[in-house]
Amino acid sequence: MRTYEIFLKRDGQEEYRHAGSIDAPDDELALLLARENYLRRAEGDLLWMVDRAHLLIGDRDFVAPNSDKPHRDNDGLLVAAHRKSQREST
């Protein structure tokens, strides 16, 4: 028995989304079980499945350094403050 992760996508611009998981002995039955458990009302137009053992996982520690990179954002506040002070001084 293998565990598969299920991703569904609707047509259009939406990305694939994780829907859940399912146990199945092989790929063929995994697809069938996924359709009957996660797509009974056509909740997606496309289905991706991946054996959990094949998932590549970047965990929180791996991702963490990028949660502290404020120089990659620009909220525009500096320019706004400068313009405001210019307006008020004229």
Partner 1 sequence: MGRTWSSMDDFETFLDDGGMVEVDDDMPDEYRAAVFRFIELHANSELMGGLTERDWIPMTPGLRHKMAVLAKTQDEIGHGHLLYMVAADLGVKTRREMLEDLFAGRSRFHNVFHYPARTWGDQVAICLLVDGAAVPSQKAVYKDCSYGPYKRILKRIIAEEGFHLRLGEERVLRIAEGTDAQRAMFQQSIDDWWWPALRLFGPDSKPNDRLARWRLKSEKNEVMRAGWVQKFVPMLHGYGFTVPDPGLTHDPETDVWTCGPIDWEPLKKTMAMDGPDTARRIAEASAAWDSTRWVRDALDATPAGAVA
- The backbone region for 11, taken as left when phi is positive above 0, alpha when psi lies in -120 to 50, beta otherwise, is beta
Q: Quick one: which of 26, 68, 73, 75 contacts partner 1 (CB under 8 A)?
A: 26
Cα 69 to Cα 28, 61, 84, 90: the distances in Å are 44, 15, 27, 36
Q: How far apart are CB 23 and partner 1 at their closest, in Å?
A: 7
Give whichever of 33 and 47 is closer to partner 1, judged by the CB atom.
Answer: 33
Give whichever of 57 and 77 is closer to partner 1, judged by the CB atom.
Answer: 57
**Rg, C-alpha atoms of the chain:** 23
Q: What is the binding site for partner 1 (CB under 8 A)?
A: 1-3, 19-23, 25-29, 31, 33, 36-38, 40, 43, 59-60
